[in-house]
Amino acid sequence: MSAAELVCIHPSCVAAVWPRVQPLVVGAITRTDLCHTLDIVPKVLDGTAQLWLAVDGSDILAAATTLLRRTDRHLVCELTALGGRDRIRWLPMLDQIEAWAKAEGATALRFYGRKGWTRVLKNYRERHVILEKAL
């Protein structure tokens, strides 16, 4: 199994790769149902948000999106979507996104996703929960 590489796609190149990664990003967003694709996709396409790819040559293993957001007290990096295959090959790359966010001045990386990620991301802890009642 060869090593994968993490690439942050320059905003001027996002439109060119978008057709190949759209199913990964949109699939991750719709699976969690925590927001609407229109909250994330336009920001990726206009360069406000970042698009990250885990690649092995020309093979795209995973795609992630991040957004730097200022709260009243801090700058945080939100990992807004993450989808792919062969997770064992690209999950360690999350360290690189964390390092990038820290270099940008972010004080935390926030991850929105399925509850199952709490078993995988051992260095993250639950700070808040979303309670939901079907009506």
pLDDT in tens, 31-67: 888 888 998 999 999 999 999 999 999 999 999 999 9
Residue 112 domain-assigned (yes or no):
yes
pLDDT of amino acid 128: 65
pTM of the model: 0.86
Residue 135 domain-assigned (yes or no):
no
The domain of 76 spans: 5-120
Proportion of the chain in helix, strand, coil states, percent, rounded to 5: 40, 30, 35
Residue 102 domain-assigned (yes or no):
yes
Residue 129 domain-assigned (yes or no):
no
pLDDT of amino acid 63: 96
Residue 35 domain-assigned (yes or no):
yes
Residue 10 domain-assigned (yes or no):
yes
Q: What is the DSSP letter of 122?
A: T
CATH assignment at residue 42: 3.40.630.30
pLDDT of amino acid 115: 73
The segments of the chain whose pLDDT lies below 70 read: 1-2, 128-135
Residue 131 domain-assigned (yes or no):
no
Q: Do 28 and 52 touch, CB atoms closer than 8 A? A: no
- The domain tally of the chain equals 1
pLDDT of amino acid 135: 63
